[in-house]
Structure 1
Amino acid sequence: MYDELISSEDLPLSRKSVLPGTGFFLPDAIEDDLEDERAKAKLEGAEAAVVADTDADGLACVALLREAYDDVRNVPEPADEDEDEDEPASETDALDPLEEPEPTPHRVALLGASPHDLEDSIQQVADYAKEGIDLYVCDLCPDRYEYVADELEAALEVAGHAAWYDHHQWDDDVAAAVRDAGVDLVIGDSEEECTADVVYRSLEYEFDPIYEELAAVTRDHDLWLREDPRSDDLADYAYWSGPEEYAEVVREYGAALPAWVEEFLAEKRIEKEALIDQAVSRTELQDVDGYTVGITYGRCSQNEVAEAMREQGADASIVIKPAGSVSIRGTDAFDRCHEVAGLVGGGGHPKAAGCKPDIYDDMLDYAHHWTTHGAVTKQVLLDAFQTVAEDEQDTDSSGDDHSLE
């Protein structure tokens, strides 16, 4: 396949908005091999491994742990103005798949993960870490213990200590199983804390006040409070920079990002705003048992798009991405997003959740997804909203507390 067919660098925004990024088209076999080689290099000689979500919250946890371990600082230089920044940075995009990765100097290795591949990163610790390593898992929650059971057992045979910090909605049986396996699991209140808050208060280390502020600003975005304008800067920088860069910059500067980062963000936001406008223009408002649900499709920043739908009167918002994932955002009027996501194989918080419906059997299904702007996914999510709304009505009529937590 010609590179230009999967590269979105020169696409018009109208087309770039409806197609996934280049990394989507990288075969799993190549990506898995690359990730294994990179993990092996990172874990060589490391004293601790952090399996973390690569959003601002998960990466703030990495910064806190590196500070607590007195890890070497590796603050990047300002980005080269001539460097091509048309795509959001990622480690996969940055490396040649045939290039042998160099070992990193960090004592605390970062293994980026998502809820969909959490078990793979835990297995990498089992396969490549030295005996006695400290294992941390941050800002990730398995829907079922079986999804991580074998990998976690293997990693615990290698690790000298294991801790898991999170703030999502955990099933009681899953939490009990993780603790029974020998992991120090600390779960924060998903409506009060982000995972950086949990790490900050859980580690036996006296942090500089800048890290308490970093956790607070991270919380502002992660819990969708939107009271501190700096939280959008952190979220955007975590998205557009590589995970290692972000972790090192916020460890050095906290929430007060340096001028060169602000300049970088200002440049990137030109395209970001255009992609937001594309997604907002596709918004449909649906009535679901008395709730107004906004739904749209596109490669975009979901939080800003959800806010635009809220301003149009949406009680909850669904943003469907070209790669198949879905972001769900709520308001004070609807705070059961995690239940909607849970019906479609996902999870999250009452006002912010995500999922990826298991509806793609082959590339024709994805082609239909792109050309119809996620028509099948829209119906799947609206059906899930309908189920949750009906459950709420049924439990309210019986006089019971309708919370499923």
Structure 2
Amino acid sequence: MDDDLIDSSELPIDRRSLLPGTGFFYPDSLDEGRSEERAKAALADAEAVVVTDSDADGLGCVALIREAYDAACDVEPFLETIESRLDDDSDDGGVIDDEPELPESTVGLIAAGPHSLTKSLEYVAAYGDSGIDVFVCDISPDAYESVADPLGTVVEQSERVSWYDHHQWPEDAAAGVRDAGVDLVVGDSDEECSTDVTLRSLDYEFDDRFTELAAVTRDHDLWINDDPRSKDLADYAFWTDPAEYAAVVGAYGASLPEVVEAYIADRRVEKEQLIEKAADRASYKSIGPWTVGVTYGRCSQNEVADELQAAGADAAIIVKPSGSASIRGGETFESAHLVARQVNGGGHPKAAGCKPEIYDDMMDYAYHWTTEGEPAKRVILQAFRRVAEEHAAADSDEETVNTDSEAADSDVDEATE
């Protein structure tokens, strides 16, 4: 296939917003082999390893753990690569060719997601040295059974296994992980991010820049948005390599250096254009007591959700060209995780993600792109309707209980008289 067909960097913004990045077209078979080689490299001679989500919260945990192990990377080579990147306007969609040799740490980093967690733990079980310390951060399994086998092996061969998170855990999954011998600490998702949990759980006296890093990371991850730096952290983590982000925030905390700020500003020009495109194509549905804004596009889901909620939506669905979707809520909708669990996902009450299992071949994806995600929108809206029905049934049961209670109180009053 001609590389130009999957390189969207030269497309007009209208068409660019409808298609996934180049990385989407990178075959899983090749990507898995590449991921395995990266995991081997991360685990080679490592005294500890962190398996984590690759967003700002997960990578903040890496920076903390490396600091506690005195294993922070030299940041200067990373800053040099950022300088050179400012002259390169291409968008590789996550595929990076000719990666430069950069400093490595004795605390390895394996970037994972909900659907790659089991495989990442299998890599640790296969390639981790006996006696290694293992940390899993900012990620939770849908069920204990999905991680039971590799996690059991990891626990047997490791000196320490700690899991720091703040997502909504099913009770049986948390019990299974703890029973396996893991030190599991799950923070209140309304109060803490995973970086907070890691900060308070490690037996180490961190200096102020790490305390500040946790606070600013929390500001974004819990949608507080009082500190403008939190948006910088989130964007930078999304746009750059996990190792680079961990090195930079490990050295600078939440106050990023000028070259990073320049890189973020450069990338935001296109980001704002993509947000506008996604917001403009939104529609609004009335489901139960809620107004749900639904849209499609390659965009920053948090900012698009803000736009939809400013237009009157209680909740927002942002379907991506890759087939995944983000579900966002707020004060009037706190069941995003319940919706996501019905369509192959999970998350928080006010923010969740999913990828409906509706893509069997490339014809399904072609239809997805040309209809602006119509099949995914449909199944997620159906999940919203089921959750609305469950809420209505729960409210009805509560009203029945209250009515019965009032009747009982009346009977008691009459008997007393």
| Alignment TM class, shorter chain as reference | over 0.9
Secondary structure, counterpart of 1:77 in structure 2: helix
Aligned-pair CA distance for 1:89: 6.8
1:125–1:222 Cα change, 3 Å: same
| Residue in 2 that maps onto 1:77 | 79
TM-score (norm 1): 0.95
Secondary structure, counterpart of 1:105 in structure 2: coil
Aligned length: 396
The 5-angstrom pairing of residues 229-378 of structure 1 reads 229-378=228-377
1:107–1:81 Cα change, 3 Å: closer
Kept in 2: contact 1:223–1:352 (CA 8 A): no
Aligned-pair CA distance for 1:82: 5.5
Moved more, 155-164 or 206-215: 155-164
TM-score (norm 2): 0.92
Q: 1:86 and 1:218 mapped to 2: Cα distance?
A: 28
Q: 2:102 and 2:222 mapped to 1: Cα distance?
A: 35
Q: 2:90 and 2:337 mapped to 1: Cα distance?
A: 33
Q: 2:201 and 2:294 mapped to 1: Cα distance?
A: 38
The 5-angstrom pairing of residues 163-202 of structure 1 reads 163-202=162-201
**CA deviation string 1:217-268 (max 9, x = no partner):** 1111111111111111100000111101100111111111111111111110
Amino acid of the structure 2 residue aligned with 1:363: M
Considering only aligned residues, what root-mean-square deviation do their CA atoms show, in Å?
1.7
**CA deviation string 1:327-382 (max 9, x = no partner):** 01101010111111111121111111111111111111011000001101111111
Q: 1:50 and 1:39 mapped to 2: Cα distance?
A: 11
Q: 1:88 and 1:175 mapped to 2: Cα distance?
A: 38
| Residue in 2 that maps onto 1:216 | 215
Kept in 2: contact 1:316–1:330 (CA 8 A): yes
| Residue in 2 that maps onto 1:4 | 4
* Greater gyration radius: 2
Amino acid of the structure 2 residue aligned with 1:84: D
| Residue in 1 that maps onto 2:25 | 25
| Residue in 2 that maps onto 1:403 | none
Aligned-pair CA distance for 1:103: 9.2
Aligned-pair CA distance for 1:104: 5.7
Q: 1:346 and 1:21 mapped to 2: Cα distance?
A: 22
Q: 2:189 and 2:287 mapped to 1: Cα distance?
A: 26
Kept in 1: contact 2:22–2:92 (CA 8 A): no
| Residue in 1 that maps onto 2:90 | 86
1:124 aligns with 2:126: no
Which structure shows the higher helix fraction? 2
Q: Which runs of 5+ in 1 are unaligned?
A: 401-405
**CA deviation string 1:301-328 (max 9, x = no partner):** 0000000001100000000000011101
Kept in 2: contact 1:315–1:334 (CA 8 A): yes
The sequence identity of aligned pairs, in percent, is 56
Amino acid of the structure 2 residue aligned with 1:27: P
Q: 1:390 and 1:169 mapped to 2: Cα distance?
A: 22
**CA deviation string 1:6-48 (max 9, x = no partner):** 1112111111111111111111111111111111112111100
| Residue in 1 that maps onto 2:61 | 61
Moved more, 267-276 or 141-150: 141-150
Q: 1:81 and 1:21 mapped to 2: Cα distance?
A: 18
Secondary structure, counterpart of 1:294 in structure 2: strand
Amino acid of the structure 1 residue aligned with 2:96: A
Kept in 1: contact 2:60–2:195 (CA 8 A): yes
Secondary structure, counterpart of 1:49 in structure 2: strand
Q: 1:154 and 1:28 mapped to 2: Cα distance?
A: 25
Aligned-pair CA distance for 1:197: 0.5
Q: 1:2 and 1:89 mapped to 2: Cα distance?
A: 16
**CA deviation string 1:198-218 (max 9, x = no partner):** 000000000001111111111
Q: 1:193 and 1:82 mapped to 2: Cα distance?
A: 34
Amino acid of the structure 2 residue aligned with 1:351: K
